[in-house]
Structures are given as C-alpha cells and as structure tokens.
Structure 1
C-alpha cells in the first residue's frame, strides 16, 4: 500500500499541471484476486489516473495465466493445520468484514498446496531415517539400518460399527510408525487407507457408472468402498515403504488391537526371507487391558464390602483401578532399581506376585521384603498409600481361594515373565497417540476430507518432526513466500511456549502435584456422595420402554 501511494504521488508530480499542486486521490477501480487486491487511483483535481497496483506478492507458477498471490497460497498452507476447511474459512473472513475468495479458487489452490506438503513431508521423513541411521552408527550398532518402531492406527470414526451403513463406520484409516531408537521419536512413515472419493461420488450422482479406486481420473480413494480397513495392510505398506529405504525393523511396539507388526514382518520377508519382527506391548494399553479383565472378572459376592450389588460394583471398580496403578508402579520401580536388567527382574517376579496377592488378602508379612510398593507397616502399607483404596476407605477384601486364583491371573497380565518379555524395552506408542490427538485438530473425525486428507496428515507430521517454527518456515519457503522477521520472531515465541509446556508436564514435582490433586478429587467425590445421595437419574432408553407398576417413579432418583 505504501509503495502504491509513493508511486502514484511521483507519477502525478511528473505529469501534473500548475493548477493541481496538491493531489486528492480516490480509488477508481478495485479487483479481488483471492484474498489479495488490485487497486487504481485517480486525482479528483485533474485527469491523472494511476496504473493498476497489485497489493500482494506474486508467486511464479510456471504455467500460463495470472500468477498466484502469496497470501492465497499461505492461507491454504495454514488451513492444513486447522480444524476448519475452505467453507468455514470463508465464513470467518466474512465475520471479519473481509470479502472471501471464491470457493472453487480456494479448492484448486488447496489441492496444489496439499500435494506440495505431501512431497515435502516425504522428503523430510527420508532425511529423518538417515539421521536415525547415523545415530545408530555413532552408537556402535552392528547394523545401523535396524530401526525399532512403534506403530498405531487411527480411524475417522469414534465407533466400530454404524447403525445406518453396513460394514465399518470409518471410511479412512491412518497408520503411523515412529522410531524408538532416539529421544526425538521421529515419525518415519505414515500411510492412509481412504475409501472417500468426491469426484467419483459426483459422477455417480450424474448417472455415470464409475468405480473407485481407479475408475476415473483424479481419484482420491485407494480402497474399494466396501473393503475393510486393516491395520495389517497398513503395516505391510509401512514395512514396504521402509524396506525400500534399506531399513530393517527388529522390534515393533503396538497396542493389543491391531496386527501391524505381522504386516511389517510379511513385507520385510519379501526382501529378507529369514527376517522376523518381534511384537512388543505398550505398557499403557496392557494396563488398560488389565483393568478391563479385573472389572469383568467373576469374583465371589462376599469378596467386596457393601450391602447392595451397586455398592459392591463400586468397590470392584476401585479395586480394578488400584490393581492397574499398583502393577504399573511395581514394574516402573523394578526397571529403575535394576536399570532394565530383565534377568534379575525375572528372578524376583514370583515373590512379588505372591506378596501382592497376600497383601490384597490382608497379609503383609512378605511386603517389606518382596512387595516393592508396600512396606507392610501400620501407616506405610499399601492400603494407606493407595490413592484409590485410601480415598474410598476400602481397607479389606474377603477373598476365597477362587478369588485369589482369579486375581493372580489378572496380576500376571503385568507381573509375569511373559509380560516382562513383551515390555522389556519400556517402549510405548505414546508418540503415535500424540500424533493422533494432533490429527484430531487438522483431521476432525466428524468432517470428511476426501481430497486433501494426506496433505493435512503430512503437515501435522512435519510439525511434529521439526517443530512449529521450522515446519512453518519450510512450508513458506516451498511456496515461494518466505516469512518476515517479525513473523519469525512470533514463531520463536510460540515454539518456546510449546516446548516449555511440554517440559513442564514432565517435571517430577508437577506429576506429583497432579497425583495429589487426583487423590484429593477422589476423596472429595466420596465425601460428596456420602452427604448427598442424589443421582443423575440417567437410564438409557427408560422413557421409551413400556412402563410397569414397579418403574413408574424410576426416572429420577430423588423421587424415591
């Protein structure tokens, strides 16, 4: 804008008459080019009319026609990291009283920018693979090409089934593989199974008989609409992609749902027939499995205190939470005490298991020597130390031999040699879960992104691998619109705040305060329930069921 006024004043001064000493400029024409504008001004005192000025930076496209505006490309680059698309972006601009670009023009640029981001992230992940290989070589690895990974899948649906359509509810699935060799945990591979194709659906709506994928040009689906989404197939794609870059995977950490490790192994065997991949378990998912098994176990009715089945069920849930927390603390303490020496830990596990069962039965005679987390005294035993048991005033369980046998099998999910072998490196899928949470922002599950889902995925991974500042600068440089110094300074501030927040959450004192806060909330909730017996009154579908003489007053608990 300043350049336009300076140029217009200079041109007016060169061609003005004596009667127009002080010009009075007014816009004579304006033309919108996406989010950019072109202006021409005139002088009301004379006949001067300026040339048309482009109030945006032009980006050469290498194609015939008008050059692209930098603001239009960077707008699409920014939207890749946002939960909104072009429709909501246009609405946001109108709320700011800014005339929005056309929807078709935004979609065209969005497709171009998405393809560029995908290529940029592919190159970046290849560089990260070479960085991990270099790290292995410096660490004295026998074969630096061996990289261990953690793999997890994400579906664009919160439920497995659907009440209206056959088959799976999800139409897209994403497989993420991050390395576990370095502390950075770089994302090395990302694949997508996509059954959505906007153009194919549009052609079928017009009466054309086309099938996706491959039935027409510019298709986006890579899977037939009725084909099942499979983590095994995504694992095969990940393994093939990494094998082409001379990467061997020895250990793959997954949750208990998918078969990604088997898919990786089958893909690697094509080039290395005798190669095998060992699947490791994620401790967090293993603990969640232990909670479910304990909560669904068939314990005796006399085991839990309480007068009604509802009260006994609450104590059973408290025990399930406590078993999960106790086993996690036991394994964490053992790994710290023995510095990851699994051989020494195997020797101690049988006594740890026996003392834990006895402790829950009220016998703490073995706790001081073998329990790891219970000292066996009056005030420092596990019953007083536990967040769940102490907060809810649970101080005894009446177990018979069958209950002890069931509890022993539940404890073996975490405290056993088999469980130790599955978690011997303490690797987890938390980085993959973090990427999934980030994807919930750029790829919300309630929005279908048929054409640019891969671009949004690539932009999220690039930001995770290189950080907010570096990723934004790389994208801007690729589009030919480098950032200004003030913008780079703001990015440094944003990244500094993000890193500080991440580091703050891992501080021991912060984690301790979080545990104390959780325990206090549990205690306050128990006290509230003791003095206020009002329930929510929720019962699924109770208003649509035929009423009987016994449930006429069941809609609200306070009506009793």
Structure 2
C-alpha cells in the first residue's frame, strides 16, 4: 500500500509531503479494517486498501474476513463469550472501537453451523474407518463397535434443590466414544438445549411462546417442561445416529442412570452393558458406608466408628479397583 501510493503521489502531484494513514476515516469490518493514505501537505487521498483477507463463500454480497471467522472458531474452544472477548479487547485498547456484539453473534451462528456440519462428517468418517479396521482384523461382523458414554450438564442437577422450582440444568451433552481402539474417538454426540434467546424477550412482552415450536429461529430443541436429566432418551438418540453406520456390541456407562435402556431401545440386537470403574467404585463405597456391621467390627467410641467405616470403604474400593485393573491388563484376547 505505502510503496504504491508514495510513487503514485509523487507522479500525480509532484508533492514531497508525507503520506499517513487516515485513521479518522477507517472502515472497520469486524476485526478487519480498510485504510487509506492522505498527504500532510496537499489534498491527495488514496483509495481504500483492505488490510485483511476475505473468505470465499461462493455467495453474493460482502465476503467475511478471515480474522472474524478465525476468532469465532477459536472462541468455540474456550469458555470466553463474545461479550467477554469484546471487553478484553476494549480494556486492552487492541481494536478501538470493539466490534459490535450483534455482528459477532451473527458470525458465531454461521461458524457454529459450519462446525456442526464438519463434526457430523468427521464422526461419520470415524465410523467408516472403524468398519475398515474391523474388516482388516477379519472380524465376523465388521459393523460391531464397543462404546462408552455419559451425559454432562451445564449445571449440576442437584443445585436446584430448595432454591428454584425449575431443574438445575438447561443444557445436556451426551457423548459416546468407541472402545475398539486406544484412541477412543468420539462417534456420536447429542446436545439437548432449553435455552432460547428469541423466546425470552417475547415472553417479557406478554406473548405466549412455546419452544421449540414458535415462529422464527429457535435455538432450543426441547421444551422447558421436559426432563433435562432423561439420559435414557439422550442415549437412544445418540445410539440411533451411530446405528446408521455401526451396531453397538457393548456399552459402558456410569450405572447410575437409565442410559443403557436408551441404547437397548435403539438396537435391534442385544447389547452387553458394563460399568466404568470410577462409578462402580463409588457405588461400592456408598454401599459399604450404608451397611450395618456388627458392633464389634469397628472398635472404639461411636464418634470414631463412622470414620473407621469410611476408611474401610475407601480401602475396599481401592483393593477392588486394583484387582479389576490388573485382571484387565493380564487378560489376553486370542
């Protein structure tokens, strides 16, 4: 930009003044900007130059800047929101003025749609790769896959007790990963979401809105009255997605929900169910703490017996987990 305009400025005006960026007339496009040069001695003004690269979309209209798309892609891997990112940039005086929040949200929506499509394709490719590996191993049924899965929430479900009549969580993410290889790649995901940014302002205006069936764009895919902790339903939906390419042979879950029932509903053939060691150990510890032992089992005053029983439960859990881990390592598959 400077080399071209300095030469052009001298050729057209014969002026030897200095060219500087016209910051008062910058054109911002999110985090990208278009700048022009002006002379401090004459009235020469250069055309605008884009100081960012555009992303080709194949559609009509203004192209998005790569820096804006890259920022939204990076934010999706962090807990920082668009509002938080805008505040950071404003306090650091990095991009004055900071980009508009609504524009950042629109960019995030477009990037998230592309990310969802990319992840769906990636999980499909992983499932196809598992079938290829099964055929290379000369398995009788090349579509079999062993999976493990669980559901996590944006808030602990027990947090609502005594504080609100509503459920503690509003988002549930159910993930299943394959157990055929050591990579444990994710082969199925389902996100249950009750949050809708469109419905809330409408309800504040007295308009009856029922998510996710109202007009316009609804970010929720379940009703507010639905049970967010229905892991049976979420596991069934993930299992049906996996069944488009593979058949689940075994499912390892936490054992404290009905997730295994959901996998059974989605399967035509019978599924073997296992419990993961961490939840199995915790269940064993709770059972020992609740057990009624003989009065002579734990000596000492009553105030210390509960402590002795808890330490005994921890010891039994550690011993059992050690035995199971060693047995698994020593097992040779022929």
Q: What is the TM-score when the length of structure 2 is the normalising length?
A: 0.92
SS at match of 2:212: coil
Aligned mates of 1:155, 1:147 — CA distance in 2:
26
Q: 1:534-545 maps to which residues of 2 (within 5 A)?
A: none
- Offset, 1:336: 4.0
After the TM superposition, which residues 234-313 of structure 1 pair with which residues of structure 2 at under 5 Å, given as runs?
Answer: 234-245=234-245, 247-269=246-268, 275-307=269-301, 309-313=302-306
Q: Structure 1 221/36 Cα, relative in aligned 2: closer, same or farther at 3 Å?
A: same
SS of the equivalent of 2:176 reads strand
Matched residue count: 328
Q: Is the 8 A contact 2:285 2:314 kept in 1?
A: yes
Unpaired runs of 5+ residues, structure 2, are none
Separation in 2 of the partners of 1:338 and 1:148? 17
Residue 144 in structure 1 maps to residue 142 in structure 2 = yes
What do residues 376-396 of structure 1 show as CA deviations (whole Å, max 9, x unaligned)?
xxxxxxxxxxxxxxxxxxxxx
1:244 deviation in Å? 2.2
State which of 78, 85, 88 in structure 1 corresponds to 2:81.
Answer: 85
Q: Equivalences for 1:68-79 in 2 at 5 Å?
A: 68-79=64-75
Return the structure number with greater relative CO, CA threshold 8 A, min gap 6. Answer: 1
- 1:15 maps to 12
CA deviation after TM superposition for structure 1 residue 55, in Å: 1.1
Q: How does 1:89-100 map to 2 (within 5 A)?
A: 89-98=85-94, 99=96, 100=98
Residues in 1 aligned to 2:329 and 2:175: alpha-carbon distance in whole angstroms: 29
Residues 31-42 of structure 1 aligned to structure 2 (within 5 Å): 31-42=27-38
More strand by share: 2
Tell me the SS of whatever aligns to 1:249: strand
- Indicate the structure with greater helix content: 1
Q: Provide the C-alpha distance between the structure 2 equivalents of 1:340 and 1:284, rounded to a whole number of angstroms.
A: 24
Give 2:40's match in structure 1, choosing from 29, 44, 47. Answer: 44
Check 1:51–1:165 CA distance in 2 against 1; reply closer, same or farther (3 A cut): same
Cα distance in 1 between the residues matched to 2:256 and 2:140 = 33
TM-fit CA distance, 1:313 = 2.0
Other-structure match for 2:312: 319
SS state at 2:292 partner: coil
Q: Who is 1:540 aligned against?
A: none
Contact 1:231 1:258 in 2 (8 A): yes
**CA distance in structure 2 between the aligned counterparts of 1:121 and 1:221, rounded to whole angstroms:** 20
- RMSD value over aligned CA atoms? 1.8
Aligned residues of 1:154 and 1:173 also touching (Cα < 8 A): yes
Query: Is 1:110 equivalent to 2:103 in the alignment?
Result: no
Following superposition of structure 1 onto structure 2, how do residues 384-533 of structure 1 map, counting pairs within 5 Å?
A: none
Indicate if the aligned counterparts of 1:40 and 1:52 stay in contact, CA closer than 8 A. Answer: yes
SS of the residue aligned with 2:198? helix
Q: How far apart are 1:340 and its partner, in Å?
A: 6.7
Q: CA–CA distance in 1 between the matches of 2:138 and 2:261?
A: 28
Bigger Rg over Cα: 1
Q: 1:235 to 1:9 in 2, by over 3 A?
A: same
Q: Deviations over 1:439-482 (max 9, x none)?
A: xxxxxxxxxxxxxxxxxxxxxxxxxxxxxxxxxxxxxxxxxxxx
Give the conservation status (yes or no) of the 8 Å contact 2:21–2:37.
yes
Deviation (angstroms), 1:82: 0.8
CA shift digits 1:118-158 (9 cap, x unpaired): 00000000000011111111111111111111111111212
How big is the shift at 1:110? 0.6
C-alpha displacement at 1:288, in angstroms? 1.1
